[in-house]
Structure 1
Amino acid sequence: MELTSDEQILMVNGQSFFGMGELPQKEVPRIQMLDGGTGLNFEQLFGDLMDKAGHAQKGTSVFRRVLENFYQPDLLDTRDELELYNWLRDQLRLLIPEMTAPGCYPPGMMLGATWDPETVYQVGQALGHEARAYGIHVLLGTPNINLHRDLRAGRLFEGYSEDPYLIAMLAPELVRGVQSQGVAANVKHFAANNQETNRQGINEIIPERALYELYLPGFEACVNADCATVMAAYNQINGVPCTENNWLLTELLRDEWGFDGLVMSDWGAVYHTAGAINAGCDVNMPGPVSSEPLQRALEDGTLEPEKLAVSAERAARLARKYALPAAAHIDREMTDRAAYKAAAEGIVMLRNHPFTVGSDAKCCPLPASAKIALTGTLNGELLVCGEGSAGVHTDRNTNLFEELRKHFADVRTGLYDEADTVIYVLSVPGQEGNDRKTLSICREEQMKMSKLASYAAQNSLRSVLIVNASGPVTEWTIGNWNAAFWVSLPGMQGAAAIADILCGKVNPSGRLPLTIPYSEDDMPTFLNFPGDGMNVTYGEGIFVGYRYYATRYHCNPDADYAAAYFGYGLSYTTFEVRSLRVESGNIANGLELAAEVENTGDTAGKTVVQVYVHDPLSALTKPVCELCAFRKVYVGPHQTVTVHMHVDRRAFESWDPDRHEWTLEDGEYVLNATVEDANAIDWHDTAGVLLHYDGESPYSWGENTSIKEIYENPVLKAALLRFITDHGLPWENILTTYQYTAMDSIGKVLNSMNCSDKAYAEFIDTLRQMRCLKK
């Protein structure tokens, strides 16, 4: 049914903090949204319930107390607290009579560490299932895929990786999983929302090539997975707010990528209401939003009526499809299983050394007879989630102390005389709204950890460090510990998963989705974060994370730049990869690869085969290596399996900022595969294959080849000299051009020398025939 202009305005303006408008007379129900990339956010749900009821306690200290103790009401003290608790409990029962608490799931950084699309899909299913149970129609932040540009970013834990290919292979599975349950996924924050400092309005000066190669691929992949909604970010990109960026929201997202869903703003990210609608931002959140600015804009002509109509229809279409009734039931077994699998697949073993000198026996797995002293930042308990939109209140979290007691003879909190094993949990929180000032841990904790590790070494105790952090930390003295595990923020089943790994029930198989530097000033973004006032320059360009470290290492292999690189992770067994080969296809149309992976140890386990592409000599500046394929695979002890992988044409392409297009350069490419404790730095020491692309490219030798390139290539220079001599042309012109304007093309120079058309064509043809020598 056609909507009136007033109805259209109602539909494009949020009507409550997490609710869209409804038009019962036009069969358009209300859409209820909620943050939920790591589980349902009760603070938001309770707040919206109170908004709709006009409840006076929203945002008060009473509300905070009830929220924090909702699953421990005995801790509530005052009459106001108990009254609010009872009211909220009754509201929840109307949605889900069984009152099952929402689950807390690992955030994007942990899902990135799984390197396993199926695991991510199962988490998406669980999230969608729980959202549907509570009557949530759009689950915000499913996924949050902003790239790990700088490790100090406050919401780093919500993003998946520093690598765009890994993001593009994993994040769409969360979309598919959520939407399989009849709930609309929401991909955020579009685009390049990489910091919290001055996030509302910060102007990010980003090179075009970095945008296309790093910051956009994950979003494009989620669009290809048919995501229902996209959230436009707070920031500006090169001077234009994302919510008012016609190139971003219409030309790229809709016209080029084919997105036909709904674009909503981040909460408070619309700075000019009419400009946002005109650019393609369909819904202004949060509500309630006054209708007056858009009514005035219609009257004065600054709001395009057809744009308003299209946005309103998108909002109505979303509501008609996804505003389904609450399912009112949560399958705890299924959802717990998904949370456990994500933690078990994503925990990374960083170190596993013998705990006594001269012994070959590794520290982990720990024997059942171990007597464990559990301690750490929070007395040995785990942080399971971050704060802000990703915060989850639940009574379903597993407890590390209790989980360890299921497997080991004696577990106590704090050091005790009979202990033969020390486990230290280093916890570092992260939150929306604030970037971390440093990657360093406080001096007090450094000293405490150092003393404990030294005590363990002096007394021949096993020592295990568990890094339970919202992002990488430096100065963690990892080398002082026999074993170390990266558990990130592992969700409600994290304690169960790490306990099962420590006892050997589960063989660790996670791989780092980011690089952990020795020092924050080693990061490529160190001097360009968080910017100067309201501007930040992405001066590192495409050299983010391992792309930067691997390229530096390639130039100086005697140096080391990080404590642990992207792709790194250990196992309780060992693996080898051999015989990487192309089974079919070609560079121009995509390749099908195969490789043999052998488990050379006595323990079954999973490994991640990682394939990196290297372009030995390129016209555009490129990183030394880039991830182009991977596959997580289970291999039994002393077994060999064949692994198949696909490499798309895009892996060999680069974005040319002068031509404003993807380009595929002719010449040689090298693919290398690695497994086990490998990482991006080690790509050149592993199974490899040499490929050649003979197609024409913008960089093929021809009339646009520069004098500099020809003069500095001995073979080309000799060919040019012969040509000039044979045709009686002045060589001095070539010398002068090289000295003063070396980037002039050979075509331009030959024309300036009055070279005949026949001779010109002869030399250009010679160049094209010689391009096989280019690499």
Structure 2
Amino acid sequence: MPPRDPSALVAEMSRAEKLSLVRGTADPAERATGYLPGIERLDVPPLRLVDGPLGVRAEGERATAFPATLATAAAFDPALAREQGAAMGREAVAHDQHVLLAPGVNVVRVPHCGRNFEYLSEDPVLSGTVGAALVDGIQSEDVIATVKHYVANNQETSRTQVSAAVDERALREVYLPPFRAAVAAGVGSVMTAYNRVNGTYMSDHADLVGGVLKDEWGFDGYVVSDWYGLATTVGAATAGLDLEMPGVPAPGAEDHEGEWPDGIPDAGHAGLFGDPLAAAIDDGRVPSERLDEMARRVLGQMARIGLLDGRERTGELDSQRHRDLAERVAGRGTVLLENDGVLPLADDADVALLGPHVHEAKLGGGGSSETTPFHSVAPDEGLRARADGTVTTARGVPPVPSRSLFDRLPYLDWGRDDEESDRPEPSLDDAVDAAADADVAVVLVRDATTEAEDRDSLALPGRQDELVRAVAAANDRTVVVLRTGGPVETPWRDDVAAVVEQWYPGQADGDALAAVCYGDRDPGGRLPVTFAPADTYPASDARQFPGVDGTAHYDEGVFVGYRHFDAAGLDPTYPFGHGHSYADFAYGGVTADGTDRVTVPVENTSDRPGREVVQAYVEPPTVEGVDRPDRVFAGASPVELAAGERREVTVSLDDLAVRRYDPDGGWTVDAGTYGIAVGRSARDDRASVAVDR
């Protein structure tokens, strides 16, 4: 069938048919997260939307459970992210879905955000680079990617109503760039956030949706609401929102009016793009041409993936290459924070594997990203399969209860079982005894984060800190493996021999853990977020987070994450970009091609292969009256070097690191000398060069 023109199709449609393309309805197969019924008369097929971004979450179906998106970002490897995006695209096709609701690119503003595990970084350049790669991968398989949640959705507390009071410079330099990068990558869909920005709900925000996104950036896809996230009919339609989802109330929602917990949208608030939109067109509050544009944008993306011309799509589900990729992403994203020579483990070492969840894979956080795999490897399974020595397990302390958005929905009886309920009561003494008898003690600890709920503390929940201290006192070769959705406090770090951050490793949990612990894979990850005590982060008072009187004040401006720690002269526990290798690397002198790229020779000076992440930071000139960060991340290049190998490594520098936004004059590049530092983290320079502009 030859390609059909979306505009010509719209011209053939009745108004009722156009309205059916801008408002979701129930999926007859009860598998899709969102569903458009199509128009049989014109051979327009249905459009099915499915949850991500840790894998495909089709109702009642299984798929590859990839690691938390934060782990993907920790690899600092856009090529790897593209591979993951393509794999998720193929699995969406295998499930007969057309739109993947991923990736999430909201900048990590506060470490307490319960959804940080779905996002990428505290830095806009890293978030944009990795997010664009995920988009490119997803859409390479004829699946529409949906970048979310546009914009300034940086907390889950009161997320359906809180207003982000954020100035234009911070929006332009920090929060908007990852979305702009996705648009530049050709993303087909943008999802608006629940929250307000400077008092206006994002679904109604004409300046940011119609103005910045569509007019300024030239976005030609469709803008979709978050689920039950449409504020008004006329406001949304005239602001530029194109598609209401899910478009119909949740079954049983009408029986729970007024019972919606904080962070949970009213699932009865739906249908605003149905009869109310038709009435608004009739009385002139919404131009009829606007409905035509909405339908054309949706059809345009359907045409792009071949839905309007019968193009065949080839899916792939639970293949060996997807299993291998899930393990590779988990391993590449694992960060070695500390190591006093205890890692990698000797093959014949006797290991005590301890922690309340050593018998289960940590798949992800709670909420719409929950993915059910065909296959998973628990930590104890992975280590036992790899070890030549004995592996003894003990839980030590009670499990950390899981948390999920779905447990809080008043119209659902989720019936979640406690995964540890059939196990005997754990004993701290048993864990200490096992540690004392082992060559090495490996303690697995975790947090519990979920969509729709922020953490109230950065401390590990339950008695896990007590477990670590007790084990460390019994064995001075103790390794702590963090499995968290973001930064946590590590009060015992001086008492242990090694600290590893594994994030939420997904279905390949145990295999990835064993590969890194035994040195089969160099711990290639670097921190995409800063680790520090809770009260030292920039948004650490109630006015800034979670806000007062319905408003979260972004008083820190552009000083988010490592930028704040630099400006305040504070030493973080572990800085942005930090991570050790099992190999050692030497850097030579750096040369610059203006502010576009830098090149530096890097040599592996050890007797084993290793993976280095060469990072570049730009230090802007001083401009009177302008408060700029001391330095900003500009780009990175991962490189794998054999023992003794030396290679010239080039890092492309993102233009965002050089420019600043002037609310009066727009984007500006100041004249002066720019320092460019190359090194291993935001606090570990190895070479530098100065460039005049």
Residue 475 (structure 2) aligned to one of 431, 436, 456? 456
Partner of 1:656: 662
1:672 to 646, 666, 677: 677
1:271 to 215, 222, 231: 231
Deviations 1:631-687 (A, max 9, x none): 00111212211011222443211011233x011111111111003xxx21234xx31
- Counterpart of 2:157 in 1: which secondary structure? coil
- Which segments of structure 1 move beyond 4 Å, counting only runs of 4 or more? 323-329
C-alpha separation in 1, matches of 2:459 and 2:383: 29
2:358/2:378 contact within 8 Å kept: no
1:28 and 1:320 in contact (8 A); partners too:
no
**What is the alpha-carbon distance in structure 1 between the residues aligned to residue 213 and residue 298 of structure 2?**
17
User: Which structure carries more relative contact order (alpha carbon 8 Å, separation 6+)?
Assistant: 2
Between the aligned partners of 1:274 and 1:335, the Cα distance in structure 2 is 44
- Counterpart position of 2:330: 343
Query: What secondary structure sits across from 1:516 in the alignment?
Result: coil
Contact 1:599 1:636 in 2 (8 A): yes
AA matched with 2:295: A
CA contact (8 A) 1:508 1:570 kept: yes
3-state DSSP of counterpart to 1:493: helix
2:255 is aligned to: none
Structure 2 letter corresponding to 1:112: A
Aligned mates of 1:637, 1:503 — CA distance in 2? 18
- Cα distance in 2, alignment partners of residues 347 and 663 from structure 1: 37
- Is 1:607 matched with 2:612? yes
Secondary structure, in 3 states, of the residue corresponding to 2:505? coil
Length-normalised TM-score, structure 2: 0.85
Partner residue in 2 for 1:108: 69
What's 1:769 paired with? none
In structure 1, what residue type is equivalent to 2:692?
Answer: H
Contact in 2 for aligned 1:522/1:561 (Cα 8 Å): no
Structure 2 residue identity aligned to 1:119: L
CA distance in 2, matches of 1:10, 1:380: 48
Q: Is the 8 A contact 1:155 1:432 kept in 2?
A: yes
Tell me the secondary structure at the aligned position of residue 389 of structure 1: coil
Query: 1:482 corresponds to which letter in structure 2?
Result: A
Provide the residue aligned with 1:535 in structure 2: 551
Counterparts of 1:284 and 1:377, CA distance in 2: 42
Q: Give deviations 1:290-313, integer Å, cap 9, x for gaps.
A: 422112111221112111110012
Q: Which residue of 2 aligns with 1:508?
A: 523
Aligned to 1:175: 135
Q: Which amino acid aligns with 1:252?
A: V
TM-superposed deviation, 1:376: 1.0
Secondary structure of 2:643's partner?
Answer: coil
For residues 644 and 445 of structure 1, the distance between their equivalents in structure 2, rounded to whole angstroms, comes to 42
Q: Which amino acid aligns with 1:335?
A: H
Instruction: Report deviation, 1:234.
Output: 0.7
Shift of the 599–432 alpha-carbon distance from structure 1 to 2, 3 Å rule, reads same
Q: Could you list the per-position Cα deviations for residues 201-251 of structure 1 after superposition, in whole angstroms to 9, with x for gaps in the alignment?
A: 211100111100000111111111101111111111111111111111122
1-side partners of 2:74 and 2:199: how far apart? 34
TM-aligned CA deviation for residue 434 of structure 1: 0.3
Q: Which residue of 1 aligns with 2:583?
A: 573
Task: Determine which of 495, 520, 537 is the counterpart of 1:523.
Answer: 537
2:392 is matched with 412
Displacement of 1:380: 5.5
Closer, same or farther: CA 646–294 of 1 in aligned 2, 3 Å: same
* Structure whose residues are more often helix by fraction: 1
What is the distance in 2 between the residues matched to 1:403 and 1:203? 45
2:317 partner amino acid? I
Whole-angstrom distance in 1 between the partners of 2:635 and 2:56: 33
Q: Deviations over 1:712-766 (max 9, x none)?
A: xxxxxxxxxxxxxxxxxxxxxxxxxxxxxxxxxxxxxxxxxxxxxxxxxxxxxxx
Contact 2:160 2:195 (8 Å CA) reproduced: yes
- Describe the SS at the equivalent of 2:582: coil
Q: Which residue of 1 aligns with 2:100?
A: 139
Determine helix, strand or coil for the equivalent of 1:130: helix
Residue 193 of structure 1, aligned match among 116, 138, 153:
153
The residue that corresponds to 2:644 in the other structure is: 638
Q: How does 1:575-724 map to 2 (within 5 A)?
A: 575-582=585-592, 584=593, 586-587=594-595, 591-619=596-624, 620-659=626-665, 661-675=666-680, 679-683=681-685, 686-693=686-693
Q: Matches of 1:126 and 1:475 in 2, distance apart?
A: 35
Deviations 1:354-409 (A, max 9, x none): xxxxxxxx101111111111111324644221110111112311121111112221
Are positions 1:395 and 2:355 aligned together? Answer: no
CA deviations 1:672-709 (Å, max 9, x no partner) are: 1003xxx21234xx31111112xxxxxxxxxxxxxxxx
Provide the residue aligned with 1:118 in structure 2.
79
Is contact 2:587-2:603 (8 Å) kept?
A: yes
Q: Distance in 2 between matches of 1:259 and 1:175?
A: 14
User: In structure 2, do the counterparts of structure 1 residues 178 and 425 end up closer, same or farther at CA, with 3 Å as the change threshold?
Assistant: same
Deviations 1:90-120 (A, max 9, x none): xx6xxxxxxxx31100122111100001110
Equivalent in the alignment of 2:302: 319
Map of 1:255 onto structure 2: 215
What amino acid maps onto 1:217 in structure 2? P
Once the two structures are TM-superposed, the CA of residue 21 in structure 1 deviates from its matched residue by: 3.4
What is the one-letter code of the residue matched to 2:301? Answer: L
In structure 1, the partner of 2:164 is 204
Deviation at 1:15, TM superposition (A): 1.4
Distance 2:224 2:15 in 1: 19
Q: Distance in 1 between matches of 2:385 and 2:466?
A: 31
Residue 550 of structure 1 deviates from its aligned partner by 1.6
User: 1:13·1:21 contact (CA, 8 Å) conserved in 2?
Assistant: no
**Residues in 1 aligned to 2:356 and 2:633: alpha-carbon distance in whole angstroms:** 35
Give the Cα separation in 2 of the matches to 1:185 and 1:618.
Answer: 40
**1:466 aligned residue:** 481
Q: Secondary structure at the match of 2:338?
A: strand
Q: Is residue 135–residue 325 contact of structure 1 (8 Å, CA) maintained in 2?
A: no
Kindly state the Cα deviation for residue 326 of structure 1 after the two structures are TM-superposed. 7.3
Alignment CA distance shift 1:328-1:564 (3 Å): closer
Q: Is the 8 A contact 1:38 1:107 kept in 2?
A: yes
Conserved in 2, the CA contact under 8 Å of 1:347 and 1:486? yes
Question: 1:382 touches 1:425 (CA, 8 Å); kept in 2?
Answer: no
Query: TM-score w.r.t. structure 1 length?
Result: 0.76
| Mapping for residues 214-229 of structure 1, pairs under 5 Å | 214-229=174-189
Between the aligned partners of 2:134 and 2:620, the Cα distance in structure 1 is 32
AA paired with 2:496?
W
Match of 2:292 in 1: 309
Which whole-Å deviations, capped at 9, do the CAs of 1:587-633 have from their partners, x for residues lacking one?
A: 4xxx2321111112111111011111112422321111101121001
Return the alpha-carbon distance in structure 1 between the equivalents of residues 506 and 334 of structure 2.
11
State which of 44, 55, 61 in structure 2 corresponds to 1:39: 55
Distance 1:390 1:449 in 2: 30
Whole-Å separation in 1 of the counterparts to 2:171 and 2:576: 21
Seen in structure 2, the aligned counterparts of structure 1 residues 103 and 245 have a Cα distance that, compared at 3 Å, is same
* 2:483 match: secondary structure: strand
Q: Displacement of 1:319 after TM fit? A: 3.1
Q: Tell me the alpha carbon deviations over residues 486-512 of structure 1, each in whole angstroms, 9 at most, x when there is no partner.
A: 000011113211201111111111100
Q: Which residue of 1 aligns with 2:426?
A: none
How far off is 1:321 after superposition?
4.0
Alignment equivalent of 1:21, drawn from 37, 50, 71: 37
Q: Which has the larger radius of gyration?
A: 1
Equivalent position SS for 1:579: coil
